């Protein structure tokens, strides 16, 4: 049901404090906190004694104390104190989840610790950079995670779901180039001489057609999709690597299954132009409403697919990117289950 040997975004960095945070990921209840030494910690959210949630307990220094009988656990999940007796019983421990923190997000490795691989997480420098200005938030989505991945990877929906912001006519006319690169899928849609997306017109004041692009990479083993999008002056040669006026927006979507039917959606949308222009910031902060249009659509789709799981369906040409992405995820899950 879920790919386990993978990283998933489990929190925004600033969510982690010395107050325990309960969060369910891939059906596993986690307790998250930041220890006294500044490191993020994730354990199973249950005491190994009577299964009270550790998130109902208290953080002391680097440890967490269960709120029921006071058992104390260190950041590795080892029980180091039982208040009602001198000795800690053997096997008194709970599972620890390895974490990785960078650029404002915290990822957890949900599978076999021996297979943990930090190189799977791409560099998302646009989250925190002098040259980029991000907008960021998280959503709680009542949908299977796969539908939320699909809608991100399929640009032809923008004209209909986001007609006033992302949706340009060009996205329906230009075919994308899709390629598998290792354990990722990469998709480029170069729209030469196209109408720019409405929100870019509003943000840049650009008039007339432009060279427009949307490129994304899907990292199933990092729970991520990254977007490189933008517009450039018409025939300035952007696609040939020439220097020309261009405006870029880079997005990151951390898509983390909570359960089969619910998903955590972490996102960042960052621009590299007019960083001090409040008007432009106003336009681009509207991306939150735009992303919520996606959420509304996949929640509606989830309801129908839950009610009518077996109805026939057709594919269209524009489904190639999402089909490749689903194939990769399926291949990774099969490989994992055959281990």
* Residues in contact with a second copy by the rule CB under 8 A: 24, 27, 29, 44-46, 48-53, 56, 65-70, 82-85, 89, 91-92, 150, 154, 156-157, 159-161, 172, 296-297, 300-301, 303-305, 307-308, 311-318
Euclidean distance between CA atoms 227 and 267, whole angstroms: 11
Nearer of residues 14 and 311 to a second copy, judged by Cβ: 311
Question: Which residue bears the tokens 């489904």?
Answer: 319
For the record, the structure tokens of 23 come out as: 């969060």
Q: How many residues does the chain have?
A: 339
**What is each CA distance from 11 to 30, 212, 299, in whole angstroms?**
11, 33, 22
Rounded least distance, CB 322 to a second copy, Å = 9
Nearest residue (CB) to a second copy, 172 versus 234: 172
Q: For a second copy, which is the closer residue by CB, 312 or 337?
A: 312
On whether the CB atoms of residues 227 and 216 are closer than 8 A, the answer is yes
Least Å distance, CB 58 to a second copy, is 9
Provide, rounded to whole angstroms, the least separation between the CB of residue 226 and a second copy: 23
Which lies closer to a second copy via its Cβ, residue 134 or residue 197?
197
145-153 and 320-337 helices cross at what angle (nearest 10)? 140
DSSP string, 25-91: ETTEEEEEEE-TTS-EEEEESS-TTT---GGGSEEETTEEE-TTT--EE-TTSBEEE-TTSSSPPTT
Smallest separation, CB 28 to a second copy (Å): 8
Q: Provide, rounded to whole angstroms, the least separation between the CB of residue 309 and a second copy.
A: 9
Choose between 191 and 222: whose C-beta lies nearer to a second copy.
Answer: 191
């Amino acid at each position: 049901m879920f790919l386990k040997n993978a990283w998933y975004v489990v929190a925004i960095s600033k969510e982690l404090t010395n107050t325990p945070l309960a969060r369910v990921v891939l059906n596993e209840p986690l307790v998250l906190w930041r220890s006294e030494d500044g490191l993020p910690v994730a354990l199973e959210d249950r005491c190994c004694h009577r299964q009270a949630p550790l998130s109902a307990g208290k953080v002391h220094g680097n440890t967490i104390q269960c709120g029921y009988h006071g058992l104390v656990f260190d950041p590795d999940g080892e029980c180091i104190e039982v208040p009602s007796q001198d000795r800690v019983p053997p096997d008194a421990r709970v599972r620890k989840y390895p974490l990785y923190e960078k650029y404002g997000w915290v990822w957890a490795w949900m599978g076999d610790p021996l297979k943990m691989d930090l190189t799977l997480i791409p560099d998302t420098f646009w989250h925190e950079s002098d040259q980029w200005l991000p907008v960021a938030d998280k959503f709680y989505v009542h949908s299977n995670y796969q539908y939320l991945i699909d809608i991100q990877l399929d640009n032809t929906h923008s004209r209909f779901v986001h007609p006033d912001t992302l949706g340009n006519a060009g996205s329906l006319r230009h075919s994308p180039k899709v390629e598998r690169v290792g354990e990722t899928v990469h998709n480029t849609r170069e729209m030469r001489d196209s109408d720019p997306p409405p929100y870019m017109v509003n943000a840049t004041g650009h008039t007339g057609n432009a060279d427009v692009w949307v490129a994304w990479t899907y990292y199933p083993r990092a729970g991520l999709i990254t977007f490189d999008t933008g517009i450039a002056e018409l025939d300035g040669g952007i696609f040939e690597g020439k220097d020309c006026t261009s405006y870029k927006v880079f997005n990151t979507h951390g898509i983390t299954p909570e359960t089969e039917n619910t998903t955590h959606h972490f996102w960042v949308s960052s621009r590299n132009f007019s960083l001090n222009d409040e008007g432009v910031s106003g336009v681009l902060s509207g991306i939150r409403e735009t992303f919520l249009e996606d959420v509304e659509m996949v929640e509606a789709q989830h309801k129908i697919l839950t009610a009518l799981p077996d109805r026939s369906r057709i594919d269209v040409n524009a489904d190639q990117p999402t089909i490749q992405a689903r194939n990769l995820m399926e291949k990774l899950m099969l490989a994992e289950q055959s281990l």
